[in-house]
Amino acid sequence: MNFQIRVPDVRLVDEKGQQVGVVSTQEALRMAQAAGLDLVEVFPNAQPPVAKIIDYGAYQYRQEKLERKSKAKQKRVDIKGIRISLNIGKHDLEMRKSQAEKFFEKGDKVLLEMILRGREKAHAARAFEMIRAFARSFGESVHVEQDVSKLGGRLTMLIARKK
């Protein structure tokens, strides 16, 4: 902006949005100062670079406002955790499934977690099958983003709703 522009010539757009044409940077600066505004380089990669005569503070405010607006429209995807155990009852498993479905409806991903304690670690194969069966119980509406991984006595699997 203003005296930080180092190129000899710029394609100038005045404060009304009219194309002035290619002028020297010094001339463009004089025109901006005469209007009481700033000379701002808006497209530095163009040949020659495009510069506008605008109020820089107002320009910056509009840019920030646009960024905030686009950020507000974005949907953040959260990862919700559901913990099941090796000896979980049928009803408890159904409750966890309905809980996961609520998370899917909100657009979240679900991290299934199973912690094996003591002698349960000897039944790791059964635990792997149980956590995969839980993921399959949702049918075709859900896909596995991260397959079952084991770290110590903890098994985890990340599942999400298909788009």
Share the mean pLDDT of the chain: 89
Q: Tally Cβ neighbours within 10 Å of residue 140.
A: 7
Q: What is the CATH number of the domain that holds 112?
A: 3.30.110.10
pLDDT tens across 141-154, in order?
899 999 999 998 89
Q: Could you tell me the residue range of the domain that residue 133 belongs to?
A: 79-161
Sequence-distant (6+) residues with CB within 8 A of 47 are none
50, 97: one domain: no
Distances (CA, A) of 12 to 52, 79, 127: 6, 49, 69
pLDDT tens across 12-70, in order?
888 888 888 898 888 888 888 888 888 888 888 888 889 898 888 888 898 899 999 88
Task: Indicate the number of domains in the chain.
Answer: 2
DSSP-assigned states of every residue in 101-162? HHHHHTT-EEEEEEE--GGGGGGHHHHHHHHHHHHHTTGGGEEEEEEEEEETTEEEEEEEE-
pLDDT tens across 2-22, in order?
777 888 888 988 888 888 889
Residue 109 pLDDT level (bands cut at 50, 70, 90): very high
> Which helix (H) or strand (E) is 9 found in, with range?
strand 9-13
92, 153: one domain: yes
